[in-house]
Amino acid sequence: MILKRLKSNSSVSLILVPIVSLALWVKSIQQPLAYDFYPGEQENVLFALFFQLVKNSDLAQVVSGILLAVALAYLMQLVNDRYMFIRIKSKLPALLFAIVIGGIVPMHTLHPVYFGAVFVLLAVYRLFSAFEIKRPYSLVFDVGFLLGIGALFYLNLLVLLPAFMIGIVILGREAGWREFVIMPMGFFLPFIFALSFMALKNQFLETIAIFQENIITPVNHFQSNIPLQVYVVTLVLLTIAGSVGMFKQYDTKKISSRKYFTVFFWIFIFSLASFVFMPVTSHEMLVITAIPVTYLIANFFVFMKSRFWSELLFILLLVIVVSMQFSFNIFNG
């Protein structure tokens, strides 16, 4: 049984992460394509520094993307191992994240969202440390600061700031007004540093224009992308199933696990809200949305009692992810 072995606590699952990622990205490595950035997307302050190193090589961009995706998978596992919100020890989150990202074929290259996702997970790691702590002011500042750095790679992360502010209310003990001031202060501090530096280089107005382009530029990569639409529907159905399973387990889970998953719920909601309220948001945000979705689906598979249905659903997910590698090329000529 495939899933039975993969959801164990064996390090084999961790070894499989780069292997599975490479297998799912192999077509992009063989035929590398640079991402179709809208004006200003690749010029966001911190991402531009890294993009300069690989902008002349499509292959280097794809390789950079897969390395970041693998790093994210391991970071996903690190967060779960540290806080144990999936109460059974399992290495499934890392492998499942690699599989989920592997299905988002248009994102099989370098994009600012991968750097942003790293800082989202680091912010989650710090946020969860605030559980039942009175006056966690330094932690709250760190969370905001990490999100702010991530936003200098991928500006759309600003939509997640309210989710993390709600998170500190959920996790902290006797949260007050100071937390609601400190976190935004931490978030905007990297922007103050960046704009001050750009002002010294006489590039202040150009940087403001780049920020503006990264907020108001209308983008829609979903339109007429039938394979991606089908894949998103698949993830939505698994997310619904995972949510139903979570509600059934809710009373049996520890208080900390309940609160951690509630925080992930708000991150999920605000990432979805960006598709509605931010015209610049498109399929790249799925990388961020995949973080809470992966944890929820992993929890679903780990605790699913029916071995037959769990194996069947997992194999179905694998088949759809693999088919995405080919259907994307078919529908895009």
Residue pLDDT, tens place only, 260-290: 999 999 999 999 999 888 888 889 999 999 9
Per-residue confidence (pLDDT) for residue 209, from 0 to 100:
93
**Global pTM value:** 0.94
Per-residue confidence (pLDDT) for residue 328, from 0 to 100:
61
Kindly report the average pLDDT of the chain as a whole number: 90
Integer Cα distance of 131 and 296 in angstroms: 20
Considering only CA atoms, which of 33, 37, 57 is closest in space to residue 47?
A: 37
How many Cβ atoms sit within 10 Å of the Cβ of residue 245? 19
Residue 138, pLDDT above cutoff 80: yes
Cβ 21 vs Cβ 70: under 8 Å: yes
Q: CA torsion sign, 104 to 78 to 116 to 60?
A: negative
Please list, residue by residue across 183-215, b when 16 or more beta carbons sit within 10 angstroms of its beta carbon and e when fewer do: bbebbbebbeebbeebeeeeeeeebeebbebbe
Residue 332, pLDDT above cutoff 60: no
Instruction: Print the SS3 string covering the chain.
Output: CHHHHHCCCCCHHHHHHHHHHHHHHHHHHHCCCCCCCCCCHHHCHHHHHHHHHHCCCHHHHHHHHHHHHHHHHHHHHHHHHHHCCCCCCCCHHHHHHHHHHHCCHHHCCCCHHHHHHHHHHHHHHHHHCCCCCECCHHHHHHHHHHHHHHHCCCHHHHHHHHHHHHHHHHHCECCCHHHHHHHHHHHHHHHHHHHHHHHHCCCHHHHHHHHHHHHHCCCCCCCCCHHHHHHHHHHHHHHHHHHHHHHHHHHHCCHHHHHHHHHHHHHHHHHHHHHHHCCCCCCCHHHHHHHHHHHHHHHHHHHCCCHHHHHHHHHHHHHHHHHHHHHHHHHCC
3-class secondary-structure state, position 249: helix
Integer Cα distance of 289 and 267 in angstroms: 8
Q: What is the pLDDT of residues 195-209, one digit of tens each?
A: 999 999 999 999 999
Cβ 215 vs Cβ 39: under 8 Å: no
pLDDT above 90 as % of the chain: 65
Residue 98, pLDDT above cutoff 50: yes
The full DSSP string for 302-332 is HH-S-HHHHHHHHHHHHHHHHHHHHHHHHHT
Q: What is the pLDDT of residues 210-248, one digit of tens each?
A: 999 988 888 877 767 788 888 999 999 999 988 888 877
User: Higher-confidence residue: 157 or 89?
Assistant: 157
Per-residue confidence (pLDDT) for residue 333, from 0 to 100:
42
